[in-house]
Amino acid sequence: MSTVEDWAGDLGRRWAGEAERQDRMLAPFEAAGRAALGDVAGRRVLDLGCGPGASTFALARDGAEATGLDVSPDLLAVARARAAAPGAPPVAFVEGDAASARFEAPFDALFSRFGCMFFDDPVPAWANLRAALVPGAPFVGVAWRPVKENLWVFEPLKLIGDLLPPQPSPPPGAPGPFGWAEPALPGSWLAEAGWREVDFEKAEADIALGGETGAAPPIPRAAEAIMTGGPLSRRILELPEDAQAEVRARLEAGLAPFVRDGAVRLPGRVWVVTARA
């Protein structure tokens, strides 16, 4: 389970160190979400849970007046450094909790690349976000479908699950990467918060674990990505060093069948969630 406090702390710090790799891995799903959002040229768009800013910059390149919102100072530091680089499109970044954030003017659209699943009290949070938009404005969010459908997580879990510290199953809808895996509950939250035309559409793409290029060969690169930045990483990092070494060895042996075109590739499956304020 991952909460807003986690992202504002250690989890955000770890993801900041993995920003480039995570952006490459998640790019196909971000693109699917932006396609569902449609033409944003000249519109004010709020990017919920923007992290290191890749999705915010993409919206700006699509012509939007884009503002990224995140609770993690470490991730936003990466985003602001990117914004200061030559040739970066103009964007704004705001540090804050979307459940209570206030803005001077309403936005024309809301977007989220895997930033919509982490509210402890989702209905008031989504009511607050709806109030930040002009009436009828679209929302598009990308959220993971169940773990067993996401082989980029499930296959490694089969390889190393017996080595990991036990973890109770989170209750349905608990904040975390798979908190929107079953659409009935988040759909009800959005409806209760006043959103209309709520819909969940399936999308999928292969994930290149560890990215498609890098200094290390593809299998060690993928094992490192799983151990340091994926949904299993927190449990792996709780292990003593000898157990972590066993995790790495099992991953490197078990991922070999999934190498294609210079990367370890496994399917990722998501919901593209749409609604109107």
pTM of the prediction? 0.92
Q: Does residue 88 lie within any of the structural domains?
A: yes
Question: Residue 162, class by beta-carbon neighbours within 10 Å (0-12 exposed, 13-18 middle, 19+ buried)?
Answer: exposed
Average pLDDT over residues 26-53: 96
Residues spanned by the domain of 87 = 4-146+169-208+269-276
Bridge partner list, 69: 48, 94
Q: pLDDT tens digits, residue range 56-74?
A: 999 999 999 999 999 999 9
Q: Does residue 151 lie within any of the structural domains?
A: no
Contact 51, 15 (CB under 8 A): yes
Q: pLDDT tens digits, residue range 234-275?
A: 899 999 999 999 999 999 999 999 999 999 999 999 999 999
CA 69 to chain centre: 13
Tell which residue, 165, 169, 122, has the closest CA to residue 148. Answer: 169
Q: What is the pLDDT of residue 17?
A: 67
CB atoms within 10 A of CB 182: 15
Give 243-251 contacts, CB < 8 A, sequence gap 24+: 243/163, 246/163, 247/160, 247/163, 248/223, 250/159, 250/160, 250/163, 251/156, 251/159, 251/160, 251/222, 251/223, 251/226, 251/227
Q: What is the pLDDT of residue 230?
A: 82
Average pLDDT over residues 2-27: 68
Q: 185 pLDDT exceeds 70?
A: yes
Residue 218, helix vs strand vs coil: helix
- CA dist., res. 24 & res. 47, Å (int): 18
Number of domains present in the structure of the chain:
1
Q: Does residue 253 lie within any of the structural domains?
A: no
Domain of residue 20, CATH code:
3.40.50.150
Q: What is the pLDDT of residue 24?
A: 86
- CA dist., res. 158 & res. 7, Å (int): 27
- CA dist., res. 67 & res. 143, Å (int): 20
Contact 146, 134 (CB under 8 A): no
Residue 144, helix vs strand vs coil: strand
Q: Does residue 50 lie within any of the structural domains?
A: yes
Confidence of residue 5 (pLDDT cuts 50, 70, 90): low
| Tokens matching residue 68 | 């990224």
Rounded to the nearest integer, the mean pLDDT of the chain is 92
Q: Which residue has the higher pLDDT, 41 or 9?
A: 41
Cβ-based neighbours of 216, under 8 Å, separated by 6 or more = 210, 224
Confidence of residue 21 (pLDDT cuts 50, 70, 90): confident
Q: Does residue 233 lie within any of the structural domains?
A: no
Q: pLDDT tens digits, residue range 74-118?
A: 999 999 999 999 999 999 999 999 999 999 899 999 999 999 999
CB atoms within 10 A of CB 185: 15
Q: What is the pLDDT of residue 213?
A: 77
Q: What is the pLDDT of residue 19?
A: 72
Residues of the chain with pLDDT > 70: what percent? Answer: 94
| Tokens matching residue 254 | 């078990």
Question: Max CA-CA distance within the chain?
Answer: 56
Bridge partner list, 113: 142
Cβ-based neighbours of 11, under 8 Å, separated by 6 or more = 2, 72, 234
Q: Does residue 37 lie within any of the structural domains?
A: yes
CB atoms within 10 A of CB 166: 6
Q: Does residue 240 lie within any of the structural domains?
A: no
Q: 217 pLDDT exceeds 80?
A: yes
Q: Does residue 224 lie within any of the structural domains?
A: no
Average pLDDT over residues 188-193: 98
Q: What is the pLDDT of residue 13?
A: 66
Q: What is the pLDDT of residue 7?
A: 53
Q: What is the pLDDT of residue 10?
A: 63
Average pLDDT over residues 156-169: 92
